[in-house]
Every structure is written in C-alpha cells, then in structure tokens.
Amino acid sequence: MSAPDAKPTACLVLADGTVFYGRGFGATGETSAELCFNTAMTGYQEIMTDPSYAGQIVTFTFPHIGNVGVNTEDDETADPVASGMVVKWDPTEPSNWRAEGDLTNWLAKTGRIGIGGIDTRRLTRAIRQQGAPHVTLAHDPEGNFDLEALVAKAREFAGLEGLDLAKEVTCAQSYRWNEMRWAWPEGYSQRKDPGHKVVALDFGAKRNILRCLASAGCDVTVMPATATSEEVLAQNPDGVFLSNGPGDPAATGTYAVPMIRDVLDQTDIPVFGICLGHQMLALALGATTIKMNHGHHGANHPVKDIETGKVEITSMNHGFTVDSQTLPKGVMETHISLFDGSNCGIRMIDRPVFSVQYHPEASPGPQDSYYLFERFADAMAARRVKA
C-alpha cells in the first residue's frame, strides 16, 4: 500500500483498505460508488454517459482511453452519469476528425473524476474474484489524502441493492423523439413519416435506443419511469418499450411492475424491454432478479439464441440478472450468456411480449442484434393488420 516515488495526485480506495495510487485528471474532489470494469475497446464517452452506470465507477480494461477525444454526437444523455473512471494510461491529446474537445476537460466541466496510471489488470482480477467492491475515488492536485476517512466513506456507501436509481436519471416530463440512427454522410436525420405509436418508459434510456426505435419505423413518445398505466394507455400506443437503466430492479419495480402488469392485463399490444426493462418485464411476469458477483460490462459478450442456435456478440451493462429458475409457466427463456449461462432473454409463449438483457442498439458495440427492433416493429404491424 506504499505510494510510488512520484507523489500521486489521485487514489482509489477500496472498502477493504486496499489503495491504488495514480494520477488524477478531470474534476477534483472525491466520490464513493460501486466499482465495475468494462472490456469495450471503443466508446468510452458512450459508456460514461450511459444512465445505467449511475452509482458506479468504471474501470476500463482497454488502455487507450481518451485518444479520440469527445464530441456532442456521442453522448447517450446530456452529461456523464458514471461517477468516475479508472484507466491504465493517462489520456492523450485527441487524434480524430470528429473530436470537439479532450476527455480531461470534458470530465472537469461535468464534475467527473478520472485516475490514470492504475494496474487495471490487477484491479479487474480483484473485481472478478471478490465481487464489485465499494470504493472512494479522490483527486487532489496537491496529493493530500486522508486514507482513513476515504476508507470509511467507501464502507459507508450503501451499495446498489435495494436502490432505486431510475427516478434519478429519468426524464422530468414526456417528450417526442424522432431522431434516427447515425448514417454517413448526413449523420443523424429526422424521422418524418408516420409510424407505429410507441410509448418508451424511460428508466434511464440511452439516446441510441430511441434512435433505433425511430429508425425501425416507430413514432416514439418518451415517458417518465413513474408513469402510470392510465397515462401510458392514454397515448393509445401500438406498443410499449421498457428502457435500460441503473439500480436494483426490485426497487424500481415497486412502481414500474404494477404499471407493466396493468398494460399486459388491459391490452394485447406488443411489449419490448432492454436491460433494466428486461428485468422489469420478468418481475411483472412473476420471476425474480438477483445481484451478480461482478456483472457483465463490455461489448464482446457472446449470447446464444436458444430457439435458433445462433450466437450473437453483444454489448452488455448490468449488475443484476433474471433468475431463469423462477420464470413462470407461459414464459420461456430465449437467450443465455455463453460466459456464465445467465439469462439474457425471455418471451411470452402466446403473445408478442419479449425482452433481452443485452443492448441491441450497441453504442458502443456490435450490431448483431439490431433485428430485435425490427421484430418489435413487425409485431406491431401484424397486430394492426389483424385489427
């Protein structure tokens, strides 16, 4: 636990007393959170602005973080949501034609702390073996740290179990979304044609999910996580989408699950969920969720479609999972992780109601699973034909 010869300007303190010294960048100060690691090789800006990372500090296993700078097009929400970042090498000057600024200044402006010079391989092994620890990250240009106080703050962090964070990252009021996926050379374009009316419940929705819905032919209305079934159904939707988000699904489920159950009981419209939305749907159908040891965070996770045998490489970000042993009659498991066999998808056998644990919108990550948005759109079109 000794510091290196050069006086460190930041430190990462684990609740068990372990201290990692490094060089701080971005904002100064300190923050306590759960520590996870992400194995993606690209997309650090999208990761830091993903609302699902609320209450977490991200260790990036890929060393080249900051090398392409930052730009407004890659934000998944207005500002970073992750509490901080841990990297192997200090961020370099950006070298990319899309860069509008550098990572260090972006973090400083948005109040997020970074620490470089960390042995991220050792840290990642510790997370895998011991589970996601509670930590305090501190940055002081003078290198003055009260380690006992920092350890105490890490131990005082309540953790994510039982914590409803969706209320902290959801939208304040409903709004329409018509921006579609990025495409060369025009970039983001606006959807103008009428489409399937979709209500998207915002538990911490990423912008690229909403873009994928728009690109798949959906006229999207985003509503707060606390919206009631009456408010949702008053929109007369063709389908309901349940977004990704942070925190414990059981905690968010205290108000979201009754809403979902009412929608399922009162209508036969298609329902599609991603990540936290997947977990919310599972809870509404009668299953349970559990906290994982260290979760899944990365853009290279193999998932098997049980029904077709196809293997997809997916993007993931979750610390809780659906317990497949608790799925009720009439609900089948559709996808599993090839890393650990955990549940990655479900669907109702007799209705167009389905969800996946992973992120088919990628951003960052592969686009193997984009077809799920089209499947949702096709289900709404088929229902319209029957009507």
Tell me the average pLDDT across 84-90: 97
pLDDT exceeds cutoff 70 at 2: no
Q: Pick the closest to residue 61 from 128, 140, 130, 109 (CA basis).
A: 128
The mean of the pLDDT values for the chain is: 96
What three-state secondary structure class fits 321? strand
Tens of pLDDT, residues 59-79: 999 999 999 999 999 999 999
pTM over 0.85: yes
Task: Write down all domains in the chain, each with its CATH number in brackets.
Answer: 10-156 (3.50.30.20), 166-386 (3.40.50.880)
pLDDT exceeds cutoff 50 at 3: no
* Tokens at 204, concatenated: 């911490």
Tens of pLDDT, residues 135-155: 999 999 999 999 999 999 999
Tell me the average pLDDT across 188-212: 96
Taking the C-alpha atoms of residue 110 and residue 69, their distance in angstroms, rounded to an integer, is 15
Tens of pLDDT, residues 306-349: 999 999 999 999 999 999 999 999 999 999 999 999 999 999 99
Q: With the C-alpha atoms ordered 282, 158, 340, 119, is the resulting torsion angle positive or negative?
A: positive
pLDDT over 70, % of the chain: 98
Helix (H) or strand (E) holding 118: none
Confidence band (pLDDT; 50, 70, 90) for 107?
very high
pLDDT exceeds cutoff 60 at 5: no
Q: What is the pLDDT of residue 91?
A: 95
Tens of pLDDT, residues 18-38: 999 999 999 999 999 999 999
Q: What is the pLDDT of residue 6?
A: 75
Angle between helices 207-215 and 371-386 (to 10 degrees): 50
Residues with catalytic function? 275, 359, 361
